[in-house]
Structure 1
Amino acid sequence: MINGGTALVGLLGNPVRHSLSPAMHNAALAELGLNWRYLALPCEQHHLRDVLDGLHAVGCRGLNVTIPHKQSVAGLCRKLSPLACRLGAVNTLIPDSGSSWTGSNTDVNGFLAPLETHIDWTGRRAVVVGCGGSARAVVAGLQTLHLAAISVIGRQTTTLQPFVEDLNLEEAPLDPLLDSDPSIADVVAASDLIVNTTPVGMAQHGEAGAMPLGESLWSGIKTEATLYDLIYTPRPTAWLQWGRKRQLHCIDGLEMLVQQGAASLRLWSGHDDVPVDAMRSAAETALKA
C-alpha cells in the first residue's frame, strides 16, 4: 500500500509509456519488502535539469535513464563511475549526500550477463552491427571477454570512425567495417558471436520482418555461432527466428533489460539478493499484455 513513507524510484526518458521497467522493478520491490514504487517519468530535454533537481529534493532513491537522455544527463552529475565516464553515457542515477547525483552505467553488466553463463569467449571472434548509443555498452562489454577480434559494422565513416577511435583499447582493438564492404561476409562467417544493436527488425519501426544487413549475408554463418539481438519486440525477431531454425544459440534483449535493471536496483538499495527471476517473469508478462 502506498502511504506517507513510500519512496520513489523511476525511469526518465521520452517516450517511456511502453517501458517494461515499472512492471519488473515493482515486482522486485514487493519481494524485497521495500516501501518504494517505480514509475515511468516522461521528461523533455529542456526540463531535464529541473526534473533532476526536483526529484532529488523530494528524496527520490534512484533513477534509470533512457533515450534520449543517457548522454546529456552525464553532464548534470556531480560524479561519474569510471565506466560511465568512459562511455559518456549514464543509465543509472544514485542520489548523493548533497543535492546532486552520481551517474553510473549498468548496461554493460546487463549485456554481459547472458553471455557469461554460456561459454568461455577467450580467443573467439565477435561482430557488432551498428555504432549507435547501445553499441557503446556492447563494445565495452565485449572488450572484457578476451576475444581475438571485435569487428564493428556501420553505415557511414563519419559515425563509425569516431566511434571506434573513442572506444578503442590497445589490449582489445576494434576493426571498423562499412556495411558496403565486400569482406563482411567473410568476417561474419569466421565469427562466433554476432550482436545486432540496430533497430532493424523492431516492430515499432514498422519492419518486424527485416533482418540486419539482409538475410543473404547470414548464409555462411557457423553452426555453433551465437546471435544476440538487443531487440525484444517482436519476440523473437525475424533474425532470431532464422537462427533458431538453424539451431543456433540465440539471445534477445529482454534479458539485458532485466539484468541491467537488477544491477541498478542493487546500487540503489544495497541489496545483493535482488529477485532477478521475479523481474524477468514480470517483464515477460508485461510484454505479452
Structure 2
Amino acid sequence: MIKIYGLLGRDIGYSFSRNYFSEKFEKENLDCQYNNFDLKHIEELRQIKENTSIKGLNVTIPYKEDVISYLDHLDPIAKEIGAVNVIKFDENQQSIGYNSDYYGFTESLKPLLNKTIKKALILGTGGASKAIAYALDRLNIHYTFVSRNPDFNELSYNDLDEDIIREYKLIINCTPLGTHPNVDYYPDIPYEHLTKNHVLYDLIYNPDQTTFMKKGQEKGAKTTNGLQMLILQAEKSWKIWND
C-alpha cells in the first residue's frame, strides 16, 4: 500500500516540502507520495487523521501552535517549544507531534557564528519564532523578541536604535515580510547600524535573496536565507517518520 505524507497549512499552493519529498521519493524509488493539505480551518485535520494511509505530516503557517490540541501525544521538545511542525502516525494511528525546525535552524546557523555574537533579536512572535528561541537557548545566545505589538520583555520596532543593534549581532527574521511576490517588503529595523560582525538570518527561502538580506550585505553583514534550514528539518522529519 502506498504511504502518504503531506504538508498541513493554509494557502500553500507553492510548497518546498512537496517538491523536496516528491523528488526524494522518485530518486530513491519509494512507494510514497506527498500531498498538500490546504486547510481553511484546523478542524479539518480530524478528517485527515481518519485516512490510515497517511503516515506523517509537516505543519506550516498558520497551524504550528493550533495543531497541538488535535494531537494524541506530544514529544517533550515540541511541548517545551510550544509549536509542532512534524506529525507522526504510529501503528495504532495515534498522532504524535514533534518539532524539527529548531534542529534545522541550529545546524544551519552554526557555520555563520562568530565570537562576537552573544545576543540575538528575533523579529516576529509566531510559531516558527518559538523554535528559534529554543535553539538559541541551547547555543547560549541571549535573545529578545521584536514585535509590532510587544508584550512584557519584548521590544517594539520603534525601540530599535544604534545601541541595541550594536549589542545584538544576530538578527533573525521570522516574519513573512519579503516573501514572494511581495519582495520589496522588509522588517523595519535601522540597517545603517549593521557591521561586518552582524549575521542576518531570514527564514524566508523564496526569493533566495530578500531585501532584508541585501540591506545587511550592503553593510558587510553575513546573510543567509531559510533554504538550508528547510532541507535539514525535512530530513529530520523523514527520520522521525521512519524511526
TM-score by length of 1: 0.77
2:240 and 2:25 map into 1 onto residues whose CA distance is 13
SS at match of 2:21: helix
Q: CA deviation at 1:91?
A: 1.0
Of the structure 1 ranges 104-113 and 33-42, higher mean CA displacement relative to structure 2 is found in 33-42
Q: 4, 7, 20: which is aligned to 1:11? A: 7
Q: CA deviation at 1:122?
A: 8.7
Aligned-residue sequence identity (percent) comes to: 28
Cα distance change on mapping 1:8 and 1:269 into 2, 3 Å? same
The match for 2:32 is 36
Q: CA deviation at 1:101?
A: 0.6
Alignment of 1:43-192 (within 5 A): 43-45=39-41, 46-52=43-49, 54-55=50-51, 57=52, 59-119=53-113, 124-147=118-141, 149-157=142-150, 160-161=151-152, 176-181=154-159, 184-192=161-169
Residues 85-141 of structure 1: CA distance to partner in whole angstroms, max 9, x if unpaired? 123221111112323211101111121121123336696221111222221111111
1:124 and 1:95 map into 2 onto residues whose CA distance is 39
> Bigger radius of gyration, 1 or 2?
1
SS at match of 1:62: strand
2:30 and 2:116 map into 1 onto residues whose CA distance is 40
Q: CA RMSD in A?
A: 2.0
Q: CA deviation at 1:68?
A: 2.6
SS at match of 1:261: helix
Higher relative contact order (CA 8 A, sep 6+): 1
SS at match of 2:64: coil
Q: CA deviation at 1:242?
A: 2.1
Structure 1 or 2: larger helix share?
Answer: 1
SS at match of 1:180: helix
Q: 207, 231, 238: which is aligned to 1:234? A: 207
The match for 1:210 is 185
> Could you tell me whether the CA contact under 8 Å between 2:55 and 2:90 is conserved in 1?
no
Cα distance change on mapping 1:105 and 1:119 into 2, 3 Å? same
Matched, 1:23 2:19: yes
SS at match of 2:97: strand
SS at match of 1:146: coil
SS at match of 1:127: strand
Deviation beyond 4 Å, 4+ runs, structure 1: 120-123
Report how many aligned residue pairs link the two structures: 242
Structure 1: segments with no counterpart, 5+ residues: 162-174, 271-289
SS at match of 1:23: helix
User: Which amino acid is the alignment partner of residue 143 of structure 1?
Assistant: D
User: Which amino acid is the alignment partner of residue 150 of structure 1?
Assistant: Y
Q: 172, 177, 185: which is aligned to 1:195? A: 172
The match for 1:251 is 224
User: Which amino acid is the alignment partner of residue 173 of structure 2?
Assistant: N
> Could you tell me whether the CA contact under 8 Å between 1:190 and 1:222 is conserved in 2?
no
